[in-house]
Chain A
Amino acid sequence: MRNVRLIALRELQSYFVSPLAYIILMMFMFIVGWFFLGVLFAYSEYSMQAAMNPGMAEHLTVHDVIIRTLFSTFGVILIFLAPLLSMRVFADEKRQGTAELMLTAPVSTVQLVLGKYFGTLGFGAVLLGSTLAFPAYLLAIGAPVDAGPLAAVYLGTFLMLGAFLSVGVFSSALTANPVASAGIAFVTCLFFWVVGFLGDIGGGAGEYGRFLKSLSITERYEDFLKGVVDTGAVVYYLTFIAFGLFLTGRVIDSSRWR
């Protein structure tokens, strides 16, 4: 456990000295901020319409209009950003030759993979944490933000980001080239996103369609956005992450017996 913490902390620190991390953080804040502004204006417009139409006001909650709309874009944003966050995790070690240190130090593969993953996830948490500014702003201007559904949204987003990052860490272990790693991660994440659409073809009916939809990373996210924490979805994400990390460990180990 000490080794995992050690590796994770070093990894996390290395993000904060690299310009890439700040660029990603800035890009992310800019995009999300832009969306937030958009939904905020839309909300105020709806409110004015609702003032004349009492029936409409019933459905007009801060959560549904602002939070849910804002976070529904996160699937797309994170699918682009997560591979950039995780691309150098293992690829850089191989390129710099530090892999030789990590693989000959008294550290097991499991510790190494977990340490690397938690380090990346730590930065992911910072990224996600930065968006807390928006609910905080809503609270500050007196909008009624519902804490329960908001927590569900954050849990879901964190799990989805965790799943993307596990794919990213895996693809980073495959290659010494960060760009190639980001490419592989992006395509793999994209697959787990569109696989849900594939299920929709033919109306999403039948065993096959439902199976494909159940594989989708983003499909599961919908529930969290509504404020529902489905244990099935939580288990899905955790299994997804565990499997991704298991494969990463196999890739690392395979370099030892190739």
Chain B
Amino acid sequence: MIEVDHVSKSFGGRPAVKDVSFQVPRGEILGFLGPNGAGKTTTMRILTGYLPATSGTARVAGFDVFEQSMEVRRRVGYLPETPPLYNEMTVRSYLTFVARLKGVPKRQVKQRIDAVASQCGATDVLPRVIGHLSKGYRQRVGLCQALINDPPVLILDEPTVGLDPAQIVEIRQVIKGLAGDHTIVFSTHILPEVTATCSSVVIINYGQAVVAGPLSELAAGEGGGQRLRLHVSRDEEWLLADLSAIPGVSGASREAGRPGSYLLRVDAGPELRERLAAHVVTRGWGLLELTPLTPTLEDIYLSLTGGAAAAGGAAA
């Protein structure tokens, strides 16, 4: 549904996005992740046709975002970083305007407004003047605006910014509920948000997509093999050699800062864990913990965006 092919964008020689490629299949939710200033907004603006790419092509619903901009614009609902609201209008008159602008037939306008307003929890504020709304409600009205003509593709730039935790969960549910009929790209720098809602993820840093793929593959990958944490009541150096000798264990190290804790790299599945537990118990080392470590998105993110040193050590 969305194909981004080697897209680059520079502003006056300063590159903002460098050679980014990814695909979003129909009905999927893609999380667009990266630190501030990584090029998320720029990429999204290219997808909506607001900015042209310096090189590369992007297609939405089979239409080139630059050559067939009008076709793309008809099919995309876009929530920019700052919700595009006219402060002097009431929410209802604003949504009416946007609905008409996006070609919603006159007779369906009222029905659509009521539908999206209840979907986004903005029904109460419909008669109010936008300029008087709080940040959270402005964000909701912005989301209403993007959904008003029920476009097949949604591009949401940090949709949950400015919302309180309860609202975040609510909006996440809305977004999740839209998947299936809609193809959604949304950007965020809140990691749990991606794990909670997305089926695949693109991590972008310094304008480059460092990782792109389904969430499940990313979690499984990371250096091949699996890692285990073994925690026993003995904290002695010679244990390492003993552990490494067990067939299936390809490496062992002591976990920094946690006496008695060892990190093992293993190539075998659950039956190894069974053997390992038996091994530890028969030697009487005092088994306290044996956990398989799957890297969280946070670990992947931090190690890829260079923040690994501090937080990544434990699990990576």
Contacts and interface: CB of A to CB of B under 8 A. Distances in A.
Contacts of B98: 101, 105
A107 interface: yes
A104 B78 contact: yes
Given A106-B73, A107-B101, A256 B84 contact: no
Interface in B69-116: 70, 73-74, 76, 78, 80-89, 97-98, 100-103
A10 B76 contact: no
Interface size bracket, B side: 20 to 34
A97 B80 contact: yes
A231 interface: no
A65 interface: no
B70 A106 contact: yes
A104 B83 contact: no
Interface string B49-61: 1111000000000
Nearest to B11: A258
B87 A96 contact: yes
A105 B73 contact: yes
Contacts of A14: 86, 88-89
Contact of B48 (A13, A98, A104, A107): A104
A98 B85 CA distance: 6
A181 B309 CA distance: 50
A106 B102 CA distance: 6
B187 interface: no
B149 to A, nearest CB: 9
Given A6-B97, A103-B50, A256-B52, A96 B102 contact: no
A98 B76 CA distance: 16
A10 B49 CA distance: 24
B74 A100 contact: no
A17 interface: yes
Interface string A98-128: 1111111111100000000000000000000
B139 interface: no
Nearest to A15: B88
A3 interface: yes
A98 B89 CA distance: 13
B145 interface: yes
Secondary structure of the B contact surface, majority rule:
loop
A108 to B, nearest CB: 7
A44 interface: no
A257 B52 CA distance: 6
Interface in A1-25: 2-3, 6-7, 10, 13-14, 17-18
- In this complex, the member of A14, A17, A18, A102 whose beta carbon has the largest number of chain B beta carbons within 10 angstroms is A17
A87 to B, nearest CB: 16
Contacts of A13: 89
A105 B88 contact: no
Contact of A3 (B48, B51, B88, B101): B101
Nearest to B155: A104
Contact of B80 (A7, A101, A107, A257): A101
A105 B48 CA distance: 9
A98 B86 CA distance: 7
Contacts of B100: 2, 6
A3 B98 CA distance: 11
Given A106-B102, A106-B103, A100 B86 contact: no
Contacts of A99: 84
A226 to B, nearest CB: 42
Contacts of B70: 106, 108
Contact of A104 (B76, B82, B89): B76
Contacts of A102: 84
Given A6-B100, A97-B83, A104 B50 contact: yes
Contacts of A108: 70
A14 B90 CA distance: 11
Interface in B243-284: none
Contact of B86 (A96, A103, A257): A96
A257 B53 CA distance: 8
B101 A6 contact: yes
5 contacts: A6-B100, A13-B89, A101-B145, A103-B49, A106-B70
Interface of A: 2-3, 6-7, 10, 13-14, 17-18, 96-108, 256-257
Interface of B: 45, 48-52, 70, 73-74, 76, 78, 80-89, 97-98, 100-103, 145
* Complex A-B, nearest 5 residue pairs according to Cβ-Cβ distance, in ascending order: A101-B84, A97-B82, A98-B84, A100-B80, A104-B48
Given A98-B86, A101-B80, 18 more contacts: A6-B97, A6-B101, A14-B88, A96-B85, A96-B87, A97-B85, A100-B50, A100-B80, A101-B78, A101-B84, A101-B98, A104-B48, A104-B50, A104-B78, A106-B74, A107-B101, A256-B49, A257-B52
